Structures are given as structure tokens and as C-alpha cells.
Chains A and B, each alone.
Chain A
């Protein structure tokens, strides 16, 4: 009875601490974006009115600054804007005069479609490549397959998108080159968006699969008569995929920022397009809104992963101590410390590569 209670309170503490950390990260992301965008010397109003070439009077300039609240001391601006942000009011676009939350809200659905399909393509092809590359007997084929992800990481996404348009819109008129008209117009952009992410997943998973295949439980399974495919998918992949789950937040963040280039290349509406335009116009409130949106997405995904990870991996013990990112190292029993360690190190290495 008492153990049930204590375990329940442990779960509650775990959830509460994760939520608390998420809130702190969001607040800090707000502060960082505020410092970068508002504290650095730039003058969005002067830019909007055409800089010094404009014939605007100093009085009009002051009035415009007052309208956007840019005339107050930095600290006052920070407190006021943070207060508004907490109520969902991210300010007004200097470029269009519309509320930032509305601008971003309207851009979410097309980006969600693009990023959703891109995510599916990246995960499926990345995982399939990793599984096949580590499974095939032929060393030449394996080397060839393992050579593809570094290629995918090196190819500029914007260029890949343009090549896809050339091949599959102009040479072979299979898909529309631009716009947002139903599923066919979604195919090429989501492939272009998925390339770097899929390559990263393939690298990460093939490394952790290779590590998992060297573990003693694989020998045990083989000794008990399990076949190659069963060992590969049933034992190695299940164990290798779990640590890969911890980078879901990063993958989603990468996809989200990838839409800036992809939506520009394919002339699609969405968050990325809003971002590109806002940077072009130096529309500070919108840029900050997008940065905050990305941070919310990252934090939410990580929160969900943190909360479901213990359900998927019973070895994880719930701790409420702050930890940067959940690592199997912290919880894997002492029988297999070395492989778990090396897997997480590899994840770090791949992350650095991809960033």
C-alpha cells in the first residue's frame, strides 16, 4: 500500500519537475530572443519607413516608435511584452500591422502538412536504410548504403529542392513545381524537407544498431535459435530505437527550421515563408514569435518523449533531478554499461554533425 503511494507520488514528482523545466526553458527562450532582437542596436521603425533616405519627420518617427512601444526603456519593454506573451499576445507585426499570433496561427496548417509528411518520409526511409545497411551480408552493399547518409547531410536542401523541381516538374511533369494545391504539390517539398533529417536518422540508427548487435543479449537470442531477421528487428532494433527517441525534439526542430528554405523554394505558404519574409522586412515581433513557436514545439515534443520514455523502457527510474536530456546511460543496469554509454556518445556526435 505504502509502496503504491510512494511510486504514485514519484510519478507525480517526475511529471511536475518535467513540466517545471519546460516552463523555465520557455521563459529563457523568450528572454534570449528578446535580448537578441530588442537589445541589439537595430531600428525596425526606421527600417520600415525606409531608413534615413525617408522624408519622415523626427516627430512622426517618435510617434511610430511609441505606437509599437519601442520608445520605452528596455526593461519596461521586456516586462510588458512578457506579460502580453503570457496571455497569448505576441505583439503586432510591424510589416503588416496584424497580430503576430494570428499571422503564425494561419501559417501552421500548411506547415503541419508539409512537416508531417516530411517527418514520416524521414523516419521511414532513414530507419529502412539503417536496418538494411546493417542487415545485408554483402560488405560492398553495406558500405554503399552507409555512404548515402553522409551524402544526404552534405547536400544543400535548397539545391536538392530545385533539382527535384527540374527533374519531376519540368523534365517529367509529374508534380507541380510550386504552390499549395492538394497532395501532389506536397510530394516534392516534403521529400526535399526530409532529406537532411532522414540522413541524420539513418546515421544515428545505423550506429546504435551496430552497437546493439554487439551486445551479449544478441548472442543469447542467437543461441536460443532466433533467426537473423528476428534478431535484427525484434531485439537489436527495439533496443537501438529507444535512445533515438530522445532526439525527436531535435528532429522536429530541424524540420521546422527546414521549412524556411523548403517553403521558399516551392513557394508554399507556411511558418517558413512567414519567417523568411519577416527576416527580409526585419519584422522583429514576427521573428520573435516564430522563435518562440519553435521553442514551444521543441519543449512540448521533449516533454512528451520524457513522459512516455519510462513507459517504453522499464529500466528507466523516475528521478526529478534536472537532467539535460534523458539518456539510457543513467538508467541502464550495470550489466550493459559500456554499450549504452557508447550509444549515447554516438548520438551526441551525430547531433554535432547535423547542427
Chain B
């Protein structure tokens, strides 16, 4: 569940870029270089004040850490029961007792948002995993096999790109049925095409390199070369894309659960929470405002960090 979130700091530790220093170090320097427009060599002193220099990135990291805690151990942040309401306390405005207010049957909205985190985050993680694994496999095959296989697979990817991703997800949901897992699979399938294109481009780049030629010349089977040399060296951009897709996956999963295709009623999925507040827009603004704000902040933080990683990747290579 937390796999993809854990990728954020780890995503750079792939062996692709023979670039010195730890992953964090390189990330810092890349961000710093972009900020100051100085293309100087990586050096020590700049790392020390990283958080002070990049408040947006630091805030994103902090927010995602909180989200991660909420997903893994929600009771740490909200000890209450997300499904039990106190009818006497229904539709109370935000207060010290109920930070996000209460809903129509007196359930604490803050507790529900915190306990819904794991549903939404794990669905988004599964979606990214489906997209990255399936897309990488197709891209790897396409880029390495070349020729007719490549042409057919990439035409298929083009067709998938011709269908808007939300509609593709909706078609998959229609076929598979409702539920959080199906929503996650549907969102993942919608991103397979773009991942496979990135992977293919990278594989084609790696395939032509000297060490791959050397590996094949020294008598390794092509499948061994593929798995031991090409795959580990072409995953960088795909992982960066996966991190980037994470924010989009949260949005897509929330939209689908807002439309009512996710987990059934009492489950506090973020999108479903916003949808549940729709009937009370006029007299209980907090019911839609807070869950949506949490979604927006999480997506913003994920995108912000992904962009940092992406800059590191493109500057580092």
C-alpha cells in the first residue's frame, strides 16, 4: 500500500545514471541548480540549507508524510470511529471538538477523512503499479524486439491514447463492476499506453549502448541481457513518470469514487466524502470543502515532489 509513496525518496536509487553521491544529494543539487540557474558542480554546503531554500518542496514532503501516517496508522491521528456518529451532534460546523465539522448523522468528518486515506492512497498506488508494471512490460518488449512486434504494440498504444483516459477507465469499470480495486485497475489500465511509450524510448536508447553489445557479444542469451542489463537501466524515467502519475491517479480514483463507482456507501473514500456532502452544500459547506481540500493538497504535494525528481533525472543524465 505504501509502496508507491516509499518510491518518492527511493525512486532515484536506480542504477541508471552513473552519477556520484546519494540520491537525496543529487536531488538537492538538481533542485538547487535549477533554482539558482548555476550549472556548478555538486558541492556540500548547498545541501545543509535545503529545506530553508525550498519551502514548497519541504512542505510537500511534510504533507505527504502526514498522509502516509494517516494511511498506515489512522488511529494515531484520529482515534475515533469513522463509521459511528452521534446523532445529536449532526451537521455541526468546524470547531475545536470537530476540526472538520460533522455530517448529517453526527460522524466526525476529520476522523472520516483520516480513515479514508488508506482507501484512496492504496487505490492510487495500485493504479500506478498496474500502469507501471504492464506499461513497462509492453514497452520493454516493444523496444527490445523492434520490427513488427514494436509496430503493432505501439499502434495499439496509440489507439489507447485516442480514447480519453477517464472514458477508458469507465469502460473497464463497466466491464469489471464497481469497487475500489476495480477502480484502481481501471485507472491503471488507462495509463499503460503512456508508460509503455516512455519505457520503449528508454529501452531503445539503452539497447544501443556499448555494455549491452558487450553482454550479448560475450554469449548471454537475449532474455538474460534484457532482464539483467536493459531493464534495470531503463527504469529511471518510468519510475519518475510513476511518481508523477501518482497525483493524477489520486485525482482519477477520487473522481470515480465521487461518481459512485468506488467502495459502497459508508466507506470514507475521499471522493465519496465530497459526493456525500453534495446534498448539504447550502447549509454545511465543510462537508465538501475539507475532503476536497485534502485531495487537492495531496495531489499538489505529490506533483511538486515528482517534478523535483524529474528535474533531478533530466539534469543528472
Contact = CB atoms under 8 A, between A and B. Distances in A.
7 contacts: A153-B303, A155-B292, A159-B291, A324-B154, A352-B241, A353-B248, A355-B191
Contacts of A256: 164, 167
Interface stretch (A217-225, A286-294, A306-314): A286-294
Interface residues of A, number: 58
A146 interface: no
Top 5 A-B pairs ranked by shortest CB distance?
A159-B292, A257-B164, A257-B166, A40-B175, A154-B300
Interface stretch (B18-26, B83-91, B223-231, B280-288): B280-288
A316 B60 CA distance: 43
Given A37-B175, A150-B303, A264-B259, A162 B167 contact: no
A36 B175 contact: yes
Most buried by A among B158, B159, B278: B159
Interface string B162-178: 11111110111111110
Interface in B223-257: 241, 244-245, 247-248, 251, 254-255
Contacts of B291: 159
Contacts of B307: 150
Given A158-B271, A257-B166, A288 B259 contact: no
B115 interface: no
Contacts of A298: 162-164
A246 interface: no
Given A154-B296, A288-B171, A349-B310, A165 B281 contact: yes
Interface of A: 24-25, 28-29, 32-33, 36-37, 40, 42, 150-151, 153-160, 162-163, 165-166, 170, 177, 253-254, 256-258, 260-261, 264-265, 275-276, 278-280, 282-284, 287-288, 290-291, 294-295, 298-299, 324, 349, 351-355
B29 to A, nearest CB: 21
A62 to B, nearest CB: 21
B292 A352 contact: no
Residue of A156, A170, A349 ringed by the most chain B CB atoms within 10 A: A156
A294 B160 contact: no
Interface in B127-160: 154-156, 158-160
A278 B174 contact: yes
